[in-house]
Amino acid sequence: MQISKKIPFEDPSVLNGVRALYIVSNVIIAAIYFYVQMQINKKNDMTVVKYVEPAPMGSGEEPKFVATTVKAYDLQQLRGLFKGQLMGVGMMAFMHLYMQYTNPLLIQSIIPLKGAFEGNLVKVHVFGQSATGELARPWKAAAGLMGAMQGGEIKTDKKSVEAAERAGRGGVKDE
């Protein structure tokens, strides 16, 4: 933040350079996500993943049992990453083009790129880390406001999964 305040955004060549950096950053992120999608489809892992998805906060619903495959789960997570990236680009376009803010361009060129490289899908499918321990599916929701709004954490213990299976809510295997 401090460095972005010292950059002379009034100079058109500097502003165009930062715009180009933002575009290149988003193209790199999209390329990473497309590569991850190719790797998911290539591996075609049909191992079943069972977990209990918490009910949305304040909905009064029961937790939902989910049985899916590793491939379907990874593709669902990847869709979420693509949507998040597009939302970020949309917000940045609004802030920059309509509200004339320039400082966030530089920051949003770096932070999402760093986040893409630190994501679980990239760790597993690009860097080849094994999906055990912290990287075992299903992945924990991000901490913070969005994680709290979803109503809690995903449960994978045998007792919770069997109880949700018997309750009859969900349980249909996604293909």
Please report, for the chain, the start and end positions of each structural domain, with discontinuous segments joined by +.
12-169
* Amino acid, single-letter form, for residue 158: K
Tens digit of each residue's pLDDT (9 = 90 or more) over 21-40: 999 999 999 999 999 999 99
23-32, 64-73, 140-149, 159-168: least confident range: 140-149
Residue 157 clears pLDDT 70, i.e. is over it: no
Q: Is residue 74 a contact partner of residue 121, using CB atoms and an 8 Å limit?
A: yes
Q: Average pLDDT of the chain?
A: 85
Q: How far is CA 66 from CA 63, 77, 142, 144, 164, in A?
A: 10, 14, 19, 23, 9
Query: What's the rounded mean pLDDT across residues 93-121?
Result: 92
Tokens 């680009």, residue? 89
Whole-structure pTM value: 0.82
pLDDT class for 172, splitting at 50, 70, 90?
Answer: low
pLDDT class for 151, splitting at 50, 70, 90?
Answer: low
